[in-house]
Structure 1
Amino acid sequence: MKYQLIDLQVNNAIATITFNRPDKRNAMSDDMRTEFIHALERVAGDKGIKALILTGAGKGFCAGGDISGMQKRMNAPSGEVGFNGWHRQQRVHHTQSLLHTMPKPVIAAVNGAASGLGADTALACDFIIASEWASFTWSYMLRGIVPDGGGMYFLPRRVGLSKAKQLIFTGRKVSADEALLLGIIDRKASADDLLKEATDWALELSQASSTAIALTKTILNQSFELSAHDVFAQGSQAQGICYTSSEHRAAVEAFLAKTAGKE
Structure 2
Amino acid sequence: MNDECIDFKMKDGVALIFLNRPNKHNALNDQIRHELLIALEAITIDEKIHAVILSGNGTSFCAGGDIEVMAKRLELPPGEIAMKGWKRHQEIQRLITLIHNMPKPMIAAVNGPAFGLGADLALACDFIIASENAVFCWSYIERAVIPDGGGMYFLPRRVGMSLAKDLIFSGRRIKSEEAMKIGIVDRYSASSDLLLNAEKWANSFKDTAKPAFVLGKRIVNQSFESTLDEIFSLSNMALGICFSSVEHRKSVENFLKK
Match of 1:181 in 2: 181
Give the Cα separation in 1 of the matches to 2:166 and 2:253.
53
Give the Cα separation in 1 of the matches to 2:122 and 2:167.
15
Match of 1:66 in 2: 66
3-state secondary structure, aligned to 2:7? strand
Give the Cα separation in 2 of the matches to 1:198 and 1:237.
33
Task: Describe how 1:66-105 pairs up with structure 2 within 5 A.
Answer: 66-105=66-105
Give the Cα separation in 1 of the matches to 2:163 and 2:257.
52
Give the Cα separation in 2 of the matches to 1:139 and 1:127.
21
Match of 2:28 in 1: 28
3-state secondary structure, aligned to 1:222? helix
- The alpha-carbon deviation at position 47 of structure 1 amounts to 1.1
**Residue 49 of structure 2 corresponds to residue 49 of structure 1:** yes
- The alpha-carbon deviation at position 53 of structure 1 amounts to 0.6
Match of 1:233 in 2: 233
Give the Cα separation in 2 of the matches to 1:165 and 1:3.
38
TM-score when scaled to structure 1? 0.95
Give the Cα separation in 1 of the matches to 2:181 and 2:255.
40
Match of 2:154 in 1: 154
- The alpha-carbon deviation at position 247 of structure 1 amounts to 1.4
Q: Give the letter aligned to residue 165 of structure 2.
A: K
Give the Cα separation in 1 of the matches to 2:12 and 2:215.
23
**Residue 113 of structure 2 corresponds to residue 121 of structure 1:** no
Match of 2:38 in 1: 38
Q: Unaligned stretches of 5+ in structure 1?
A: 259-263
8 Å Cα contact 1:64/1:119 also seen in 2? yes
- The alpha-carbon deviation at position 63 of structure 1 amounts to 0.3
- The alpha-carbon deviation at position 74 of structure 1 amounts to 0.6
3-state secondary structure, aligned to 1:133? coil
**Residue 171 of structure 2 corresponds to residue 171 of structure 1:** yes
8 Å Cα contact 1:105/1:206 also seen in 2? no
Give the Cα separation in 2 of the matches to 1:3 and 1:73.
23
Q: Moved runs in structure 1, 4+ residues, more than 6 A?
A: none
Q: Give the letter aligned to residue 165 of structure 1.
A: K
- The alpha-carbon deviation at position 3 of structure 1 amounts to 7.7
Q: Give the letter aligned to residue 189 of structure 1.
A: S
Task: Describe how 1:240-259 pairs up with structure 2 within 5 A.
Answer: 240-258=240-258
3-state secondary structure, aligned to 2:107? strand
3-state secondary structure, aligned to 1:18? strand
Q: Unaligned stretches of 5+ in structure 2?
A: none
8 Å Cα contact 1:104/1:206 also seen in 2? no
3-state secondary structure, aligned to 2:76? coil
Q: Give the letter aligned to residue 157 of structure 2.
A: R
Identity score, percent: 51
3-state secondary structure, aligned to 2:16? strand
Give the Cα separation in 2 of the matches to 1:3 and 1:72.
22
Rate the CA distance shift 1:48–1:3 in 2: closer, same or farther, 3 A.
farther
TM-score when scaled to structure 2? 0.97
8 Å Cα contact 1:3/1:35 also seen in 2? no
- The alpha-carbon deviation at position 48 of structure 1 amounts to 1.2
| Corresponding residue pairs, total | 257
3-state secondary structure, aligned to 1:15? strand
- The alpha-carbon deviation at position 73 of structure 1 amounts to 1.1
Match of 1:202 in 2: 202
Indicate the larger mover: 69-78 or 23-32. Answer: 69-78
Match of 1:8 in 2: 8
Give the Cα separation in 2 of the matches to 1:227 and 1:49.
33
CA RMSD of the aligned region, Å? Answer: 1.2
Rate the CA distance shift 1:12–1:3 in 2: closer, same or farther, 3 A.
farther
3-state secondary structure, aligned to 1:52? strand
Give the Cα separation in 1 of the matches to 2:129 and 2:115.
16
Give the Cα separation in 1 of the matches to 2:162 and 2:205.
31
- The alpha-carbon deviation at position 205 of structure 1 amounts to 3.1
